[in-house]
Structure 1
Amino acid sequence: MKKKLISLAVAGALAVPMTVSAQGTHVTLFGSVQAEYATVNRENQSSQALIGDDTGRSRMGMHVTENLGGGFKAKAHVEYGFNTGAGALGVARERWVALANDSWGEVKFGRVQSPFKDFAGGMTIDPFAYTTLQAGGSGGTMMASANGYGSGAQGFVNSAVRYDSPKVEGFSFSGLLMPGDANRLDPANTIIATSTFQGSQSNAGGEDGEWDFQLAGKYDAQWQGHNFAVFGGYSRDNVSTRQRTVGFRNNEHVWRGGGSWNYQQFTLSGQYERITNAVGAATCTNAAALGNPATGLPDTRGQCNSAMNVGGDGNIWFASGKYDWGNTSFIAQGGQTHAHGVIGAAQSRQVSSFTVGAIHNLSKRSSLFGGYQRAMVSDKNATFQDSDTWSLGMRHNF
């Protein structure tokens, strides 16, 4: 009996600090697990198929909120992604701390998503976001970079600060800044023996930062059962000193505009982007092409149809329609990318695509999805070819 009382006393003593530290703090564990059978058939190549999740949906993480009083809150967020079809433990997604206030909004510090991804258009208007059928990436026609300044599924920005305003009379805006104007890559100034530049590639806002920034705003309104939203944004990726030495001359500029309309079961949405002097955000990356970000190796399943030629201009438009019938959503969407050629280098390229499919909700947390996507490329070359994509998958959120 005494042993039991001692055990209970010890357990109670250990539990007291945890209870105190939990006062005013709310911790949420969350995640999502997805697997799909996806096959990509590119012209003049053998079919490439997998069972897994290389578009970045599967994740797990922790979100912490502490009430500081006076309308202020402190927040922390840690999130990791993984591929259900591979054995790797996971890759870093968002990791930040934030200070929020009910009146003036929220400021995040750390590794964050860009406003072009989760605030104004981008992944927010694509029903097939985070699947092989998504509008960004292999067969799609929305900007699909992996470095964070586009709307790609695996896009995150290191060493950044982001502000999101509260909604006032339907208006809200968001801004992101990645600071850094150094001529070296890392404040540690570690010498790289194989490079003429000092520094090591890190997450510091160094030479590749150059005070890059992004701004976006949107307006939401309701009228007699109709829901309207319009948005716009500007993204600037400044050319660094190192990039100038290898031929880059001008900063990258991306202008975006779009909107959506919803009435009962119908939803229509779309966006348009104008890109000039593509440097990083609008050019091709392995992750955007369904590559393997862990190894950096190219993946022959995908191609960057939505990417601009390095140093070139272009434009992209995308439109989507969705009809909800009970627990099932039927989707039809598509668009076009026009990448202008670069003198003495890459040729111009135009890609048109369309996607049809459905998402069926088994519950509030589980769903099935599937469909077909066709990409048609003009000015074909060895890299870009017509392609057909089929997908069937399942997702569970927790």
Structure 2
Amino acid sequence: MKKKLIALVVAGALAAPVVAAAQGTHVTIFGRIQAEYATVDTDGNGAQTGVLDDAAQSRWGLQVAEDLGMGLRAMGRVEFGFNPGAGTDQTAREQWVGLGGNEWGEVKFGRVQSPFKDFAGGHTIDPFAYTSLHANGSGGLMTANLNGFGAGDNSFVNSAVRYDSPLVEGFSMSALLMPGDARKLDPVLGADGRNSGGEDGEWDFQVAGKYSAQIDALGFDIFGGYSRDNVSNRMKSLGNVIDDEEIWRGGALISFADLRVRGQYEYVNNANPLGGAASCTQAAAFGSAIGSITLDGRGQCNSAMNANGDGYLWMAGVDYTIGNTMLVAQGGMTHAYKLAGVAGSKDVQNITAGVIHSLSKRSSLFGGYQRVWVDDKNLVADADRNVYSVGMRHDF
């Protein structure tokens, strides 16, 4: 009996520092699981159907917060994505550590999301974000840069600092800075100067702001932003004829009771072919993508700009909520200007109609149809497509 008591006392003494260290720190386990029965029927490839989560919605992670007193808090986030039904390995999503203050906002260091994705437009105005019916990413009508600066489903920026301001009189802003040598140590994307950053690179950045207000039953958000992916000295030394990529964005979301109307416009100048708006992420493409063509027939990369070219993208939509059911209709287009003697013009248009039904605060069903028309002068045959999807999502 004495030996048991001694063992319990020793175990308690050893455990005490661990408990003390945990006091004041809150760790939250969170995640989402989603699967879609989706068919992507692309001209020339036929219908490709799967029960998967190619839109990169499923994830799990840890959110850490500690109250430091005097209005300060320490924060951290580790998040990984997976694909139910595909048996693939986990992929890194957000991974950062940060500091927040009630008066001045939050600053994060590490792998973060682009403000163009989760702050000003992007996923914030698309009810079908993270599904095969999305308006974001190269599958839809928003840029999905390989460097993570875009609004794609898997847009994350490595080696970055991000600042989010507090809301002051309806105004707020977000800014992201990526050091020029961020990809220097990447043997694939850094050695030859490709992608944002790169060896002997320039500092790349993104800034966005918005104004939110509520007047009785009328609410609105007006947002805008600017993104710049500078060409590195390494890329110039290799003889790459590439200019600094710039993207301007503006848009608004207006709500009245259960009705919402939204729209977004982007102009792309000098689309960077080595990681910018002329490319798209694998997640946004729904598979392995090569330009406007994919290897498995499920990819959607038609909204990418011509390399080192200009173009614009816009989307608009409306949704109406009846009880626990939201009815959604949206559409838009992409236009890539031609480059004389290099590449032809490209036009992509789409319309989407669907429904989202909430079973509870954590579970929902969704489904719909998307039609895409492609007029690409760079292809022998245009890759028009029809997308049908029915899926389920659960948050935990």
Flag whether TM exceeds 0.5 (same fold).
yes
1:333 to 326, 330, 333: 330
Within the candidate set 217, 241, 264, 1:248 is matched to: 241
Matched-pair identity in %: 58
SS in 1 for 2:284: coil
Deviations 1:277-307 (A, max 9, x none): 00033122333311259xxx84421231221
Query: How far apart are 1:56 and its partner, in Å?
Result: 1.0
Q: Which residue of 2 aligns with 1:185?
A: 184
In structure 2, relative to structure 1, the CA distance for the partners of 1:11 and 1:326 (3 Å cut) is farther
Counterparts in 2 of 1:176 and 1:291: CA distance versus 1, 3 Å: same
Q: Does 1:290 pair with 2:283? A: no
Match of 1:27 in 2: 27
Q: Which moved more, 1:380-389 or 1:128-137?
A: 380-389
**Does residue 1:73 correspond to 2:73, yes or no?**
yes
For residues 19-61 of structure 1, give each alpha carbon's deviation from its aligned partner in whole angstroms, at most 9, with x where no partner exists: 2011111111111011101111111322111111111110010
Which residue identity lines up with residue 291 of structure 1 in the other structure?
G
In 1, the alpha carbon distance for the partners of 2:65 and 2:165 equals 18
Q: Which residue of 2 aligns with 1:258?
A: 251
Q: Is the 2:162–2:174 Cα contact (8 Å) retained in structure 1?
A: yes
User: Which amino acid letter does the alignment assign opposite residue 386 of structure 2?
Assistant: D
Give how far 1:14 is off: 3.9
Distance in 2 (alpha carbons) for counterparts of 1:287 and 1:142: 14
Q: Is the 8 A contact 2:217 2:257 kept in 1?
A: yes
Structure 2 counterparts to residues 110-125 of structure 1, below 5 A: 110-125=110-125
Q: For residue 386 of structure 1, what is the aligned residue in structure 2?
A: 384
1:234 is displaced (CA, Å) by 0.2
Q: How many residues align?
A: 387
Aligned residue type for 1:281:
G
**Counterpart residue number, 2:349:** 352
Alignment-derived partner of residue 130 in structure 1? 130
Deviation per residue, 1:312-339 (Å, 9 max, x gap)? 1000010111111111111000001001
Whether the 8 Å CA contact 1:357–1:372 is kept in 2: the answer is: yes
Displacement of 1:89 in angstroms is: 2.9
Q: 2:268 aligns to what?
A: 275
Q: CA deviation at 1:99?
A: 0.9
More displaced, 327-336 or 378-387? Answer: 378-387
The residue matched to 2:12 in structure 1 has which SS?
helix
AA in 2 matched with 1:267:
R
Q: Residue 307 and residue 202 in structure 1: after superposition, are their counterparts in 2 closer, same or farther (change >3 A)?
A: closer
Name the CA shift for 1:229/1:198 in 2 (closer, same or farther; >3 Å).
closer
CA contact (8 A) 2:347 2:374 kept: yes
Q: What amino acid is aligned across from residue 394 of structure 1 in structure 2? A: M
RMSD: 2.5
Report the Cα distance in structure 2 between the residues aligned to 1:17 and 1:202, rounded to whole angstroms: 47
* AA partner of residue 341 (structure 1): K
Residue of structure 1 in register with 2:104 after alignment:
104
- Which secondary structure state, in structure 2, belongs to the residue aligned with residue 47 of structure 1? strand
Cα drift, residue 342 of structure 1? 2.2
SS in 2 for 1:287: helix
Cα 1:14–1:299 shift into 2, 3 Å: farther
SS at match of 1:374: strand
Match of 1:232 in 2: 224
CA shift for structure 1 position 148: 1.0
SS in 2 for 1:288: helix
Gaps of 5+ in 1: none
Distance 1:9 1:275, change over 3 A: same
The alpha-carbon deviation at position 3 of structure 1 amounts to 5.7
Structure 2 SS opposite 1:278: coil
Distance 1:253 1:200, change over 3 A: closer
Letter in 2 for 1:150: G
1:316 is matched with 313
Q: Which runs of 5+ in 2 are unaligned?
A: none
List aligned pairs for 1:360-375, cutoff 5 A. 360-375=357-372
Equivalence map 1:205-216=2 (5 Å): 206-207=198-199, 209-216=201-208
For residues 155 and 216 of structure 1, the distance between their equivalents in structure 2, rounded to whole angstroms, comes to 16
- Provide the rounded CA distance (Å) in 1 between the counterparts of 2:286 and 2:380: 18
Distance 1:200 1:10 in 2: 57
Check conservation: 1:41, 1:47, Cα contact below 8 A. Answer: yes
Residue 397 (1) aligns with residue 390 (2): no
* Stretch of structure 1 that moved more, 374-383 or 6-15: 6-15
TM-score, structure 1 length as denominator? 0.91
SS of equivalent residue, structure 2 residue 17: helix
The 2-side partners of 1:374 and 1:323 are apart by 21
> d(CA) in 2 for partners of 1:34 and 1:265?
26
Look up the SS of the partner of 1:9 in the other structure.
Answer: helix
Shift of 1:82: 0.6
